[in-house]
Amino acid sequence: MLGLMQEWPLLCHKIIDHAASQHAGREIVSRSVEGPIVRMTYADLRTRALKVAQRLEREGYKLGDRIATMAWNTGRHLEAWYGTMGIGAVYHTLNPRLFPEQIVWIMNHAEDKCLFVDLTFVPLVEKIASKVPSLKQVIVLTDKAHMPETSLANAVAYEEWLAEADGDFAWREFEERTAAGMCYTSGTTGEPKGVLYSHRSNVLHAMIACAPNAMGISARDVVMPVVPMFHANAWGLAQSAPMSGSKLVMPGPRMDGEAIYELLDTEKVSFTAAVPTVWLMLLQYLEETGKKLPYLKKVVIGGSACPRVMTEKFQQNYDVEVIHAWGMTEMSPLGSLGTMKPEYAGLEGSARLDIQEKQGFAPFGVEMKVTNDENEDLPWDGKTFGRLKVRGPAVASSYYGGAGAEQFDEQGWFDTGDVAHIDRYGYMQITDRAKDVIKSGGEWISTIDLENLALAHPDVAEAAVIGVRHSKWDERPLLVVVRKPGKNPSREELLAFMQGKVAKWWLPDDVAFVDEIPHTATGKIQKTTLREQFKDHRLPME
């Protein structure tokens, strides 16, 4: 027997309809690419997104067409997403930090037909557009007055293009499994892989994200997604903020500590989210200027492991709660968040920080397990680590075009490529990416644990641990360190600092000092490059 409840397809434009009806006057504040701070409301956003939809349809775009965006976080970018989804076309976010050849590869693989681009990236697009035969049109997210001279054929200024629509338009109808958005993983090894979100998965993911066990945002929050919309679906904030009616603050092109601080302060941001490298910049800015964060309540940190010292500083020096989160482009992207269950809620000081080093527990909608290489489940004892596998309604079922099929099994489990353990209360801790873990004499050493430890030394600005060849043990850890300006810790001092805090055989065999550690386009340490750089490094004991 079927229930007698209404069919109400989970479509993304329902989010913006809801925001415009229930939270009509709530602001979306953007630092525009042209410079000034601009303001609009959810009601405006809906009106303008309808115009985008109407205009796209008039150009001939239709259900399933891929519409690319290469843009910072702004209100315009958001309305381009919602307008695209409103006709059943697919927003495809491009990460401008990738190499141009990678962007060309990705655009061709996705067969993008149209591109919304920020002024910042017009020169980049001029270089690559001719290499993407499917691309018919480039819409520059600016007005006529700021429209640059460009060699791009069929380039138009967004505001002029939009002005040709009157907004008298209804969202198109289609089923909830229709593709809504697309995002490629960076592909540090091999080709990038496309993840194709559906309307249903985006809506469910937004509901998961809003809940108190997860991000816990509401209409009383002022949410600033610092994580770019071109990185892993903006961690769902482009949907969960309008769904909960939060005021949105979009940081635009300026990502430096001062600019981020300015918006946190003037717009009274209560909730923000980004990768650790961004917060490193902000904390440095705060330390240099002596400024405080009176309005900020919560910061979600993920994308790579959040160093313990970072959590400690936010909480102790600025009274901001840190939520350590883990996720992947393939998971829309939230996989786990470190909010407190009653079993841990009473912990304070370093005992609390111990728990916050973990990446948290899976919210409803994410199933999680760790297995050994024989695909047998491992115990949830907080120490036995293995392959982390997940499944759920907002987890990819395959990659676009069928690459990486070996990562998905018949029971729907997706092998994340991460190595982790889970404790008795369900809190998961990533110890490594499978390809980064150090295998020393048949045992595994967690590079993330060692990095965290090194970062706790006051003179260390950044740390990375990689495995280097060893005649007896196969691989041994090498600690690569960027020193803080004006500080000069020695190899011996750093090793002595780490001693006693991890198993003896985990201690790095050597320390190398560098001026800079390479990062990927999504702010992760580029270990492949580091391994290449140090492939001939001879350990002192060798």
Q: Which residues bind ligand ADP (CB under 6 A)?
A: 185-186, 232, 302-306, 324-329, 333, 359, 416-418, 430, 433, 520, 522, 524
CA–CA separation, 195 and 357 (whole Å): 28
Q: Which residues are catalytic?
A: 185, 330, 439, 444
The distance of Cα 210 from the centroid of its chain, to the nearest Å, equals 16
CA–CA separation, 249 and 272 (whole Å): 9
CB of 375 to ligand ADP, least distance (A): 19
Q: 45 or 215: whose CB is closer to ligand ADP?
A: 215
CA–CA separation, 302 and 299 (whole Å): 10
CB of 378 to ligand ADP, least distance (A): 18
CA–CA separation, 32 and 250 (whole Å): 9
Q: 302 or 404: whose CB is closer to ligand ADP?
A: 302
Q: 480 or 525: whose CB is closer to ligand ADP?
A: 525
- At residue 489, φ and ψ (nearest 5 deg) are -65, 145
CA–CA separation, 480 and 343 (whole Å): 37
Hey, what are 303's tokens? 């994308």
Q: 114 or 323: whose CB is closer to ligand ADP?
A: 323
CB of 78 to ligand ADP, least distance (A): 20
CB of 408 to ligand ADP, least distance (A): 15
Strand, helix or coil at 418? strand
Q: 42 or 361: whose CB is closer to ligand ADP?
A: 361
Q: 137 or 446: whose CB is closer to ligand ADP?
A: 446
DSSP β-ladder status, 443-445 and 510-513: unpaired
H-helix or E-strand spanning residue 103:
helix 100-110
CB of 41 to ligand ADP, least distance (A): 31
Hey, what are 269's tokens? 């941001």
Please give the C-alpha separations between residue 164 and each of 115, 168, 418, in angstroms, as whole numbers. Answer: 18, 12, 49
Q: 444 or 513: whose CB is closer to ligand ADP?
A: 444
Hey, what are 475's tokens? 């691989």
DSSP 406: G
CB of 523 to ligand ADP, least distance (A): 8
Q: What's the N-to-C CA distance of the chain in angstroms?
A: 71
Q: 41 or 185: whose CB is closer to ligand ADP?
A: 185
CA–CA separation, 330 and 477 (whole Å): 30
CB of 396 to ligand ADP, least distance (A): 11
Please give the C-alpha separations between residue 351 and each of 299, 346, 356, in angstroms, as whole numbers. Answer: 20, 10, 9
- At residue 348, φ and ψ (nearest 5 deg) are -135, 170
CB of 451 to ligand ADP, least distance (A): 10
Q: Do 264 and 285 form a contact (C-beta atoms < 8 A)?
A: no
Strand, helix or coil at 437? coil
Dmax (CA) for the chain in angstroms is 74
Nearest-10 Cα torsion for 318, 356, 416, 187: 30
Q: Which of 329, 402, 139, 527 is nearest to 129 (CA)?
A: 139
Strand, helix or coil at 221? coil
Strand, helix or coil at 198? strand
Q: 106 or 114: whose CB is closer to ligand ADP?
A: 106
CB of 367 to ligand ADP, least distance (A): 16
- Three-state DSSP string of 461-520: EEEEEEEEEECCCEEEEEEEEEECCCCCCCHHHHHHHHCCCCCHHHCCCEEEECCCCCEC
Q: 54 or 416: whose CB is closer to ligand ADP?
A: 416
CB of 193 to ligand ADP, least distance (A): 9
Q: Which of 313, 294, 227 is nearest to 523 (CA)?
A: 227
